[in-house]
Structure 1
Amino acid sequence: MTQASERARNALDSGRQQDAVEIAQEAGARGDAECLAMLARWRLIGSPLPRDLGEARRLLRAATSAGSEDAALMEAALTANGTGAPQDWAGATAILQETAQRYGGAAAQDLDLLGRMEIDADGYPLALPEPERLGQGYEVRRWRQFVTPEECAHLAMSVRDLLAPSIVADPRTGRAIPHPIRTSSAAVIGPTRESLPLQAIMRRLAAATGTRVEQGEPLNVLHYAPGQEYRAHMDTLPHVTNQRKVTALLYLNTGYLGGETCFPEQNLSVAGGGGDMVAFDNTLPDGSPDPRSRHAGAPVRQGAKWAATRWIRAQPFDVWDQG
């Protein structure tokens, strides 16, 4: 952290937002990479500066050019997922390659993993395995070894600093309380943390489910310790016009007992091995919730279970515009 970025951070922490902005802008104009990256993050989150995704991208480009490795990784992610500009997989890959050559580290690891994926020029899979079709009447699809062990590890490690007990807002008080249904730890991978390998996995997932990658919510990574579970529930949401149409569930590890995905209305229990994916529809043809999609994650009896969920909406989902 540079002296200017530290001063800006201290000003912000003490409630002097305007001072923080002025310090960062003055230093950024002089080419301070950390302050440029800080300004970009503020433009993304919308505080203490108004949200401006295009300006955030401009600032990230300047921060990358000025020598910020973190800004370069963020710029690559946003270039690929289309934040503030159209999706540009080739441009994102070029940024990642330049960053890997300059710094090595995470960029080099991402580039190596990406190079082992069978993808086309836009990050989509060249081929897909055929799914098993489970259940009677209501269909649950399971793809064996949909993701590799290296990809599973990348998913799990991407949230190592974010995992926290699952919480929900109390409907009466608005306060955060322990989730009454899900007892796992969870973390959401937001668009700034969507590495190119993660985005290639999400493109693979979209292709397998016959949806567009833009329809998916951010990946939600879950960790279940012994005794933890996800009690019976439906993934559809109340009072929304863009409903969760499909749920896709990735199993990231083996070596645990329990943790099956159960569909009580179907008398169906699905055990996923490391790398497997399960997908099922949440809505009926008219778009209303399908009660047959009610499901649960059985308690883990031994070991730890890692999983990742992506809820896929009926229409494109803009994570930046949820007001």
Structure 2
Amino acid sequence: MTDTTAAGLSPAELASKAEAGDAEAALFLARVLFGQGKMEESFNWILKSAKEGHPVAATELGLRLVVGNGAPTDPAAGIKWIDAAVKAGFPEAVRWRALFLAAGVGGTINFPAALNMLEAAAQSGEPYAQAQLQCIRASGINSDESLAAFLNPPAPLLFSESPWVTAAEHVLPEPMCNWWIAAASTRLQKAQVHDADAGGRRQDGMRTNSGAGFSILQTDVVMQLCLARIAVATGRPRKWQEAPNVLHYSVGEEYGLHYDFLDPANPHFADGLAKYGQRRTTALIYLNQNFMEGQTWFEAIQKHARTPAGGMLAFDNVLNDGSPDPRTLHAGLPVTMGEKWLLSIWIRDREQPVI
């Protein structure tokens, strides 16, 4: 987040300068200790640097606290430290604050305030804020009225009543679809499945695609706008959404027949269900359309569905009483030409933690 002569010092030299009250050295020492896995020592030094008024340290400390990475999980305290860096005029902190306003971290979701904060970061020359604003404006959001319209999409159409499946076009505009693809393209890893027998996750021949997940610190205001619009389109609260995933399918890749719900009869899922609840709804947004086949297949009704780029399929994984719906058995059919990009959102039945 900064460049300084402290970056060229040895750990011993950093420690000496940090102990003498050099806030910059304390920040770099905290980073070194973090890389060594010495989380408590790292936290103490970055806290010292932040308390001495270093805006970069305050920002990094705030980010750690928001997600509990090498620090206690305390989003409210994290926001206070980032606000201190914002007050000090650090553009990157302003950009992060915009994200947290858009995601409702430490409070309620506030897109007008988030966009104002993003504008301030962009005007300060923060390049990622500038890129986000360009995407948002290219998507037609350039006033309070257009923002309100974006956050109020038309209701989807019913595709199947049992299982409950809906479909909608024009959920995400093309610039935002491309934004997700670009963000995921350098982070793809082979997708995994839940291991129902041993617990945890593993690779399996039934799922041959790749994917990239996005924790809160890997998202931005563009993505949060998308997630908010999807929440309205599905009729499910934004804060019930798990961290989003972008899925990529090359020719021949597929995801065989599977359920998205977590089987309450399986003891390996008990802790997750108790902490985070059931996966009530799945939302799939097709991010591109220059591929052949690759539809979503629903076994119970012997039908497949696919939308144009920016369209959404959404289906409930459970019945009205919350029990798993066996009619939701579905698959991602093989791609026969081109490559398929899909944004996948699992929506639980309760608010999810910030991760």
Residue equivalent to 1:320 = 354
What is the one-letter code of the residue matched to 1:216? Q
Residue equivalent to 1:87 = 109
Is the 8 Å Cα contact of residues 193 and 207 (structure 2) preserved in structure 1?
Answer: no
Greater shift in the superposed pair: 110-119 or 288-297: 110-119
Which consecutive residues of structure 1, in runs of 5 or more, have no partner in the other structure? none
Residue equivalent to 1:261 = 296
How far apart, in 2, do the equivalents of 1:141 and 1:171 lie? 28
**2:258 matched to 1:236?**
no
Distance 1:269-1:190 versus aligned 2 partners, 3 A rule? same
How far apart, in 2, do the equivalents of 1:138 and 1:18 lie? 50
Q: Alpha-carbon deviation of 1:29? A: 2.7
Residue equivalent to 2:14 = none
Is the 8 Å Cα contact of residues 77 and 193 (structure 1) preserved in structure 2?
Answer: no
Q: Alpha-carbon deviation of 1:67? A: 4.7
Residue equivalent to 2:65 = 43
**2:38 matched to 1:13?**
no
Residue equivalent to 2:217 = 192
How far apart, in 2, do the equivalents of 1:47 and 1:136 lie? 43
Distance 1:182-1:111 versus aligned 2 partners, 3 A rule? same
Is the 8 Å Cα contact of residues 40 and 71 (structure 2) preserved in structure 1?
Answer: no
Distance 1:206-1:124 versus aligned 2 partners, 3 A rule? farther
Match of 1:245 among 273, 276, 280: 280
Distance 1:56-1:181 versus aligned 2 partners, 3 A rule? farther
**Secondary structure of the structure 1 residue equivalent to 2:322:** coil
For residues 74-125 of structure 1, the C-alpha deviation after alignment (integer angstroms, 9 at most, x for no partner) is 2211122221223332322221111011115221232233341387597663
Is the 8 Å Cα contact of residues 263 and 324 (structure 2) preserved in structure 1?
Answer: no
Greater shift in the superposed pair: 1-10 or 210-219: 1-10
Greater shift in the superposed pair: 96-105 or 170-179: 170-179
Residue equivalent to 2:240 = 215
How far apart, in 1, do the equivalents of 2:152 and 2:279 lie? 26
What is the one-letter code of the residue matched to 1:81? A
Greater shift in the superposed pair: 70-79 or 123-132: 123-132
Q: Alpha-carbon deviation of 1:161? A: 4.2
For residues 113-170 of structure 1, the C-alpha deviation after alignment (integer angstroms, 9 at most, x for no partner) is 3341387597663653453432464442221232211110112223344322223575
**Secondary structure of the structure 2 residue equivalent to 1:280:** strand
Match of 1:96 among 118, 125, 130: 118
Is the 8 Å Cα contact of residues 81 and 199 (structure 1) preserved in structure 2?
Answer: yes
Distance 1:266-1:170 versus aligned 2 partners, 3 A rule? closer
Residue equivalent to 1:271 = 306
Q: Alpha-carbon deviation of 1:305? A: 0.7
Match of 1:58 among 60, 67, 80: 80
What is the one-letter code of the residue matched to 1:292? R
Is the 8 Å Cα contact of residues 261 and 269 (structure 1) preserved in structure 2?
Answer: yes
How far apart, in 2, do the equivalents of 1:144 and 1:18 lie? 49
Q: Alpha-carbon deviation of 1:253? A: 0.6
Residue equivalent to 2:250 = 225
For residues 243-283 of structure 1, the C-alpha deviation after alignment (integer angstroms, 9 at most, x for no partner) is 22221110001211221100111110112321111111211
Q: Alpha-carbon deviation of 1:8? A: 1.8
Q: Alpha-carbon deviation of 1:175? A: 7.3
Is the 8 Å Cα contact of residues 251 and 274 (structure 1) preserved in structure 2?
Answer: yes
Q: Alpha-carbon deviation of 1:297? A: 0.2
Is the 8 Å Cα contact of residues 78 and 192 (structure 1) preserved in structure 2?
Answer: no
Give the TM-score normalised by the residue count of structure 2.
Answer: 0.80
**2:307 matched to 1:285?**
no
**2:110 matched to 1:75?**
no
How far apart, in 2, do the equivalents of 1:47 and 1:109 lie? 27
Name the larger-Rg structure: 2
Give the TM-score normalised by the residue count of structure 1.
Answer: 0.87
Is the 8 Å Cα contact of residues 166 and 178 (structure 1) preserved in structure 2?
Answer: yes
How far apart, in 1, do the equivalents of 2:226 and 2:40 lie? 41
